[in-house]
């Protein structure tokens, strides 16, 4: 008996673990107040997204939380309108004869591509009005939008809609008989596409935040990465869904839209990077040209300094020579100084040499006279 009870409990736990139960109702009752869970999930997503946007604007120094609130009011309204119009336009057969159902958004049916188009466009207008650079405002909003989508997708769970094909995976989604598609037996499990997209958007938001901090991205590139990332997510999730949709070339219409988003984001990044490369190349060429001019000017200055030094040296030598030449000319032009006359003693008259043949004076005796 105990063993049987254990097997029963084990079977019950296995059943819970092996599937995601469907909600008993799409509304939450608080006394007499009924809240549609679908709208509540969207509202919670908006609150989380606006909070993150305000925080990122303040961290970037480009705006405040009040700016985020002002931007979100208009962007969210435009996004809801755009997403509803997109859903109605792409699934017109459901509304052609029931026009009064168009505004009933609480029953589900919001096309994300239309919401992004209208919401981002209106957000850009508000960002500009607040004096925030549009590209930097977009980068602040990119992960915030992903967070809002991640939470808002749980509205599909409460409405038991937009699930994928049948599956036997342990996390298969249960759908009650009231929402079970035709041709499927009671108890069939389906791919929980809402969960895949929700978790993927949380991961995308985290990746964008990390990329914005660690990578040197140009303004606007983070938004382009978000658009590309969501395009990839939506392409694969859309391929799992089994709800009615228009097909073109073997793909669902929204898959083509997702591919267009990926390609558009890639083209934007390529063109932007090419422009940056051209600017860098031009700046580099200008810097090299400026360096060459500076080198030429320095060489010319050095050469001029050398010539000036040589001229100065030549002038110095000329001045020295000029100072020396006047002395020589003065010496040449000056009257010669008369040499002092040497007083020569009169030459003594030579005594006549007595000629031996000349007897000289003779005395009275006839003999030569002599002197003492």
Structure tokens at 293: 């001019």
C-alpha span between 71 and 52 (Å, rounded): 13
Higher-pLDDT residue of 336, 72:
72
* pLDDT of 181 strictly over 60: yes
- Taking the whole predicted model, whether its pTM rises above 0.75 is answered as no
pLDDT tens figures, 63-121: 999 999 999 999 999 999 999 999 898 888 888 888 888 888 877 788 999 999 999 99
**Per-residue model confidence (pLDDT) at position 311:** 76
Burial class (CB in 10 A: 0-12, 13-18, 19+), 124: middle
* pLDDT of 291 strictly over 50: yes
pLDDT tens figures, 186-219: 999 999 999 999 999 999 999 999 999 999 899 9
* pLDDT of 335 strictly over 50: yes
Neighbours of 105 (CB within 10 A): 18
């Amino acid at each position: 008996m105990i063993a049987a009870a254990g097997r029963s409990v084990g079977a019950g736990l296995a059943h819970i673990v092996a599937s995601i139960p469907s909600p008993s109702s799409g509304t939450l009752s608080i006394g007499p107040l009924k809240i549609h869970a679908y709208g509540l999930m969207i509202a919670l997503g908006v609150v989380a997204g606006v909070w993150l946007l305000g925080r990122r604007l303040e961290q970037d120094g480009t705006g405040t939380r009040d700016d985020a609130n002002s931007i979100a009011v208009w962007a969210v309204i435009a996004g809801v309108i755009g997403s509803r119009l997109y859903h109605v336009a792409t699934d017109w057969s459901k509304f052609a004869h029931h026009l009064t159902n168009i505004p009933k958004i609480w029953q589900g049916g919001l096309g994300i591509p239309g919401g992004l188009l209208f919401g981002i466009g209106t957000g850009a207008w508000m960002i500009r009005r607040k004096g925030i650079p549009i590209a930097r405002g977009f980068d602040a909003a990119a992960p915030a939008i992903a967070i809002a989508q991640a939470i808002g997708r749980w509205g599909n769970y409460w409405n038991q809609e937009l699930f994928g094909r049948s599956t036997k995976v342990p996390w298969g989604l249960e759908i009650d008989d009231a929402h079970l598609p035709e041709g499927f037996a009671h108890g069939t499990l389906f791919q929980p596409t809402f969960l895949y997209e929700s978790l993927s958007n949380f991961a995308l938001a985290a990746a964008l935040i990390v990329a914005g901090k660690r990578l040197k991205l140009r303004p606007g590139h983070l938004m382009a990465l978000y658009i590309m990332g969501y395009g990839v997510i939506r392409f694969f999730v859309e391929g799992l869904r089994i709800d009615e949709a228009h097909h073109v070339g073997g793909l669902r219409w929204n898959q083509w839209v997702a591919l267009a988003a990926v390609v558009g984001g890639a083209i934007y990044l390529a063109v932007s990077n090419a422009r940056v490369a051209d600017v860098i190349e031009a700046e580099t060429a200008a810097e090299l040209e400026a360096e060459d001019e500076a080198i030429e000017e320095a060489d010319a200055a050095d050469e001029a300094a050398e010539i000036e030094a040589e001229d100065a040296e030549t002038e110095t030598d000329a001045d020295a020579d000029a100072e020396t030449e006047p002395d020589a000319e003065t010496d040449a032009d000056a009257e010669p100084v008369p040499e002092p006359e040497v007083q020569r003693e009169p030459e003594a008259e030579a005594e006549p040499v007595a000629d031996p043949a000349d007897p000289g004076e003779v005395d009275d005796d006839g003999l030569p006279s002599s002197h003492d």
